[in-house]
Every structure is written in structure tokens, then in C-alpha cells.
Structure 1
Amino acid sequence: MTIDIQKVRVEEVEALQKISIETFGDTFGADNSSEDLDQYYQKAYNFKQLTSEIINGASYFFFAKQADQLLGYLKVNIDEAQSEKMGSDTLEVERIYVRQQFKRRGVGSRLMQQALEVAQENHKRKVWLGVWEHNEAAKKFYQTQGFNQVGEHVFQLGNDLQRDLIMLKDI
């Protein structure tokens, strides 16, 4: 499978919003209330919020595509855009979201490769991410990518406070 990686442009915010809601819902919908999910979507995936993140010079979005088909996307943050203060030598992988029908086809690995390239281009020595403690598939994937748990933090989904594991990889 040939996977093309393309930087997300502001004009593509609607496609970004759609895939964000689709992939988040597919991954977490069965384990969370529709009220909490809707509240999160309205906060995290509204046009204004996504547009401000796309134009932020310390955040990077990339679509994974095959031909014109959207497979998934990546969001990484450096410097002040990181959701935790992890130091100036780190890059945060905030989101690797892959559409359900394309999971286990190398899309996540290709997006992680892109994240590592962005880290190297920005002279970062470490990459970190937060993963929901109950997302076993994602935790296993990150472990195979060389990440180890170093801590935890709270992730608020609507009114529900959840525990994310913080995982780190030296590069």
C-alpha cells in the first residue's frame, strides 16, 4: 500500500473535522457517553479551533492518503503548543488517527515515521504522547514503536476525567 503524506492546509479544515469526529467516535464511542463525546467534539473539533491549530507554527497536521482517499491523519506539537510541559527538546504526538477500515495496514507506522521526521527537522531528542489507559491496541502499537510509559495525566472527555498514560521515546 502506497501511503502519501501531505501537510494539511487551512482550506482542508472541513475534511480534518470530519475525519477527526469519525475516527475518535470509532475508537472511543462504545466506551463513552454520547453527551461526553458531543461536548468534546464541539470543543476540540470546531472549525475555529482546528483552524487556529493548523495555522499555529508550533503544530503540524498531516493527512495520510492513498490516491484521493483519506486514510488518517497526524497532529504533532512542539514548544508551547504541547499539551504538557515536557521540555524544549521534545515533540508531542497529539493524534495519530486512522480510519477503521485502514487499521493494521501500515498507516499508523507511516504517520509515526512522519512524526519522527518532524522531530528531527526541529532538532528534538525525544517524542512523547498520551494514550488512554484502556486503549490496548494503541498502547501495544506505541510499545512496538519503542515508546515506554513514564507517567500519566488527566484527559477530559466532556464531563468525564480519564487517565492517559504518558509514553516517551528517545530519538
Structure 2
Amino acid sequence: MDSILIVPAITAEAELLQKLARQTFEEAFASSNTAANMQLYAQQNFTIPRLTAELSNPESEFFWAMHKIDPVGYLKLNFGSAQTELFNSKAVELERIYVTKAWQGKGIGQQLLDQAIDSAIAVNAPFLWLGVWEHNKNAIAFYEKNRFEVFDKHPFKLGNEVQTDLLMRLDLPAKK
């Protein structure tokens, strides 16, 4: 397998993040949602000002999965008040984890998830949590394989449609 490096993203990379975020979101969900809802979601969530603000937030971290000089995946973590729901201020939210379709099945999602777990353990978080669309069976199976368990659900607005996300968590060991 080609070598993949997991590296932190910086604020100046907002345009690169926008391109990858739009691409991976489209690849993941376009076949199951209307074009209008996909476009509206992207317009609301993947603008340069919004992504710049997210990258600049000291309570969020982004990581790239890099193949040579090309990003092939990314991950977004939220700490403290940056979490989209505050179940526990010391927990860490895995808000986004995406790999381009061409690079799926090569262990990159696992590398990104391992980074998320390591980052959460480093701040002594009691658990890492995420929301995953209830119909995204492959993602749910991936998280279950990594010992995440469903603990709740919440609404997720994709464009004008309200969908249901399962909330999953992984309890973490105390930092050594």
C-alpha cells in the first residue's frame, strides 16, 4: 500500500478543505439524497468563511490523510464547547471523517479513526462520540468493529430534509 501520513490541517488550507469536503460528502451521500438537498447542505456548511472559522477554532482540530502531496481524506474533532451537542464537556466529538471514494478500502479511515482516538486519549477524554446517518450501514459497521456503541439519536438536517443520526460512543481508557 502507498504510504499515508496523517497530519494536522491549518487555517490557510480552507480552500483545499472545501474542495475535499464537498467531494467526499457528495461521494458518500449523493446517491441517497436529492441534488437540491445536497447543494443546500454544501452551501450552508462548506463555504470558505465557515471552514476558515472552523479551522481557526482552538476547540476544533482537523487532520489530513495525505498521499504524497495530495489529501485523500480528512477528519474533524471538536473539544469542549465546540461539540455540536454537549453530553460531557470533557468528551471529544468526531464530527467528520471522510476518505475519497478512490482511496476507500485501503485502511485510511482506520488511520484517521486511530488519530481521533489518540487525540481524545491525549486530553484524557472519557469518551469519543459521533453521529452517523441511520442508513449508512457501512459506516455503522466500521464504528461497531471499533467498539463504538449506540447511545442515543438526534435529528440531522440535510438541506430541507430532517434525517436521523445514531449517536455512537467509544469509552476511552484514562491517559497513562
TM-score (ref. length: structure 1): 0.98
Aligned AA for 1:23? Answer: T
Residues 18-51 of structure 1, C-alpha deviations (whole Å, 9 max, x = no match): 1101010011001111111111111110000000
Map of 2:110 onto structure 1: 109
How far apart in 2 are the matches of 1:144 and 1:4?
Answer: 23
* Cα deviation, residue 57, structure 1: 0.6
* Cα deviation, residue 86, structure 1: 1.3
How far apart in 1 are the matches of 2:4 and 2:122?
Answer: 21
- The Cα RMSD (Å) is 0.8
Mean alpha-carbon deviation: is it higher for 120-129 or for 151-160?
A: 120-129
Map of 1:121 onto structure 2: 122
Map of 1:100 onto structure 2: 101
Q: Could you list the runs of 5+ residues in structure 1 that have no partner in the other structure?
A: none
SS in 2 for 1:36: helix
* Cα deviation, residue 83, structure 1: 0.7
SS in 1 for 2:105: coil
SS in 2 for 1:115: helix
Residues 52-99 of structure 1, C-alpha deviations (whole Å, 9 max, x = no match): 000101100000012112110000101101111110221000011000
Is 1:81–2:91 an aligned residue pair?
Answer: no
How far apart in 2 are the matches of 1:42 and 1:80?
Answer: 24
* Cα deviation, residue 121, structure 1: 1.8
Mean alpha-carbon deviation: is it higher for 84-93 or for 151-160?
A: 84-93
How many residue pairs align between the two structures?
171
Map of 2:26 onto structure 1: 25
How far apart in 2 are the matches of 1:95 and 1:5?
Answer: 15
Aligned AA for 2:30? Answer: G
Map of 1:15 onto structure 2: 16
